[in-house]
């Protein structure tokens, strides 16, 4: 079968969006990419991830001979969260290239600046937001695949890990709430917190009085090689406040860690619920007035601490083994055919 030629536009940085596009390229789901250079000088652009001659975009609007040639060379253009230049969606349509957006509902404008031809939703929550806005069959939920080779058996819950990354808008990963919980934790667990955004992480630490001096806490700043993310840890703890897709939760589950996150939809539809953290209440919020609103979870530091304590030194062997099976069922081997089928349907629509 001849599959559509698929292009993509996105970051080549050590963050979720950058790693997402790289995984699609490495798996052969995307044939070629244009790299949009991140506007922050702190974010290194890794052009070495892609073949020599890969187009690098440094400004907007997208255009010029290289962009024109790239656009015409593919049948379908895939965007992750945003096209970065919404006028490029119309540009693609004018060149006869179909467009597919993998939306992140919280970063989707209230009104489409330019509507893509189809959506591939990375979570059931994203599907809930957009189902009905596109012709039948052109808005589907397909999970983001994981890498089963990262799996390692974890046997007892002693070493806890939290990846704050670039902290995120509205501190949505719950880093501050986790650190506020640490004084209420009674067990002698080890908690490692990693962050790429050192300034944001430092502000959070300053706001959590005395936590930086807790001997159970280890803070690691800066980028870490992707293959070393999970190491010898047993538990991934992330009291997230909102979002549909959470790559860190998926990656931790695939790596065999016990995943301790907020008991919220959609995480509680695919994660075992026993280690999930009670939600005190929800509040209506948005990342900005021009974007869609959502339910943001409010959690109590004491509730977080209670769950952390309840699992300390528990046997997590069976949980870890179930992560291996889950990763195999959500691997590229299983999901690549679904993406190709969907892209083929979009191109033929």
Q: What is the CATH number of the domain that holds 42?
A: 3.40.50
Q: What is the dihedral of CA 174, 194, 121, 256, to 10 degrees?
A: -100
Mean pLDDT of all residues belonging to the chain: 95
Low-confidence winner among 58-72, 212-226, 314-328 (lowest mean pLDDT): 212-226
158 with 114, same domain? no
Q: pTM score > 0.75 for this model?
A: yes
Please write the tens of the pLDDT for every residue from 244-266.
999 999 999 999 999 999 999 99
Please write the tens of the pLDDT for every residue from 206-224.
999 889 999 999 999 887 7
How far, CA to CA in Å, does 280 sit from each of 57, 68, 120, 243, 263?
A: 44, 51, 32, 17, 10
Is residue 1 in a domain?
Answer: no
Identify the pLDDT of residue 135: 96
160 with 294, same domain? yes
Identify the pLDDT of residue 1: 59
Is residue 153 in a domain?
Answer: yes
Tokens standing for residue 59 = 């400004």
Tokens standing for residue 335 = 């999901």
Is residue 268 in a domain?
Answer: yes
How far is C-alpha 347 from the chain's CA centre?
A: 26
- Residue 26's pLDDT band, with cuts at 50, 70 and 90, is very high
Is residue 32 in a domain?
Answer: yes
- Residue 28's pLDDT band, with cuts at 50, 70 and 90, is very high
157 with 290, same domain? yes
70 with 181, same domain? no
| Interstrand relation of 76-80 and 55-57 (parallel, antiparallel or unpaired) | unpaired
246 with 274, same domain? yes
152 with 275, same domain? yes
Is residue 305 in a domain?
Answer: yes
User: What's the rounded mean pLDDT across residues 158-167?
Assistant: 90
Given a cut of 80, is residue 328 above it in pLDDT? yes
User: What's the rounded mean pLDDT across residues 130-156?
Assistant: 97
Identify the pLDDT of residue 117: 98
Low-confidence winner among 36-50, 81-95, 172-186 (lowest mean pLDDT): 36-50
Whether residue 108 contacts residue 128, with contact meaning beta carbons closer than 8 Å, is answered with no
Identify the pLDDT of residue 14: 86
Is residue 253 in a domain?
Answer: yes
User: What's the rounded mean pLDDT across residues 78-83?
Assistant: 97
Range of the domain at 304: 148-328
How far, CA to CA in Å, does 66 sit from each of 57, 63, 291, 304?
A: 10, 8, 32, 51
191 with 320, same domain? yes
58 with 102, same domain? yes
* Cα gap 73→91, rounded to integer Å: 14
171 with 250, same domain? yes
How far, CA to CA in Å, does 343 sit from each of 3, 99, 128, 299?
A: 8, 10, 21, 39
Whether residue 142 contacts residue 29, with contact meaning beta carbons closer than 8 Å, is answered with no
Please write the tens of the pLDDT for every residue from 94-138.
999 999 999 999 999 999 999 999 999 999 999 999 999 999 999
Listed in sequence order, the residues at least 6 apart from 209 whose beta carbon sits closer than 8 Å to its beta carbon are: none
How far, CA to CA in Å, does 338 sit from each of 139, 145, 205, 257, 323?
A: 13, 11, 43, 27, 22
Domain count, the chain: 2
Given a cut of 80, is residue 4 above it in pLDDT? yes
The CATH code of the domain that includes 291 is 3.40.50.2000
Given a cut of 90, is residue 34 above it in pLDDT? yes
Tokens standing for residue 296 = 């943001």
What strands, in cross-sheet order, belong to the sheet with 139-141?
Answer: 55-57, 32-36, 6-10, 76-80, 98-102, 118-121, 139-141
Is residue 179 in a domain?
Answer: yes
* Cα gap 239→173, rounded to integer Å: 6
Tokens standing for residue 148 = 């089963």
115 with 174, same domain? no
168 with 306, same domain? yes
Q: What is the 3-state secondary structure (H, E, C) of the chain?
A: CCCCCEEEEECCCCCHHHHHHHHHHHCCCCCEEEEECCCCCCCCCCHHHCCCCCEEECCCCCCCHHHHHHHHCCCEEEEECCCCCCHHHHHHHHCCCEEEEECCHHHCECCCCCCCCEEEECCHHHHHHHCCCCCCCCEEECCCCECHHHCCCCCECCEEEEEEECCCHHHCCCHHHHHHHHHHCCCCCEEEEEECCHHHHHHHHHHCCCHHHCCCEEEEECCCCHHHCCCCCCEEEECCCCCCCCHHHHHHHHCCCEEEEECCCCHHHHCCCCCCECCCEEEEECCCCCECCEEEEECCHHHHHHHHHHHCCCECHHHHHHHHHHHHHCEHHHHHHHHHHHHHHHHHC
- Residue 11's pLDDT band, with cuts at 50, 70 and 90, is very high
242 with 306, same domain? yes
Is residue 65 in a domain?
Answer: yes
Q: At what angle do helices 16-26 and 247-254 cross, to 10 degrees?
A: 60
- Residue 229's pLDDT band, with cuts at 50, 70 and 90, is confident
């Amino acid at each position: 079968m001849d599959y559509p030629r698929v292009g993509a536009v996105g970051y080549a940085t050590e963050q979720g969006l950058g790693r997402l596009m790289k995984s699609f390229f490495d798996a052969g789901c995307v044939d070629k990419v244009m790299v949009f250079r991140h506007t922050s000088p702190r974010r290194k652009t890794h052009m070495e991830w892609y073949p020599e001659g890969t187009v690098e975009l440094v400004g907007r609007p997208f255009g010029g001979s290289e962009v024109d040639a790239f656009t015409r060379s593919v049948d379908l253009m895939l965007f992750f969260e945003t096209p970065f230049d919404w006028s490029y969606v119309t540009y693609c349509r004018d060149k006869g290239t179909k467009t597919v957006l993998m939306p992140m509902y919280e970063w989707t404008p209230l009104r489409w600046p330019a509507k893509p031809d189809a959506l591939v939703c990375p979570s059931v929550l994203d599907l809930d937001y957009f189902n009905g806005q596109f012709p039948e069959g052109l808005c589907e939920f397909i999970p983001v695949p994981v890498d089963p080779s990262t799996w390692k058996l974890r046997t007892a819950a002693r070493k806890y890990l939290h990846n704050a990354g670039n902290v995120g808008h509205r501190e949505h990963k719950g880093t501050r709430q986790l650190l506020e919980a640490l004084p209420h934790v009674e067990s002698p667990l080890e908690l490692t917190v990693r962050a790429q955004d050192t300034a944001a992480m430092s502000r959070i630490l300053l706001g959590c009085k005395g936590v930086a001096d807790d001997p159970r806490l280890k803070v690691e700043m800066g980028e870490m090689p992707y293959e070393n993310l999970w190491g010898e840890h047993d538990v991934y703890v992330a009291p997230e406040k909102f979002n549909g897709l959470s790559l860190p939760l998926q990656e931790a589950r695939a790596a065999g860690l016990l995943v301790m996150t907020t008991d919220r939809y959609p995480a509680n539809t695919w994660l075992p619920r026993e280690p999930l953290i009670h939600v005190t209440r929800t509040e209506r919020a948005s990342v900005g007035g021009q974007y869609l609103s959502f339910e943001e979870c409010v959690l109590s530091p004491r509730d977080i601490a209670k769950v952390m304590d309840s699992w300390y030194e528990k046997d997590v062997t069976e949980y870890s083994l179930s992560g291996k099976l889950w990763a195999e069922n959500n691997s590229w081997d299983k999901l690549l055919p679904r993406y190709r089928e969907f892209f083929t349907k979009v191109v033929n629509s």
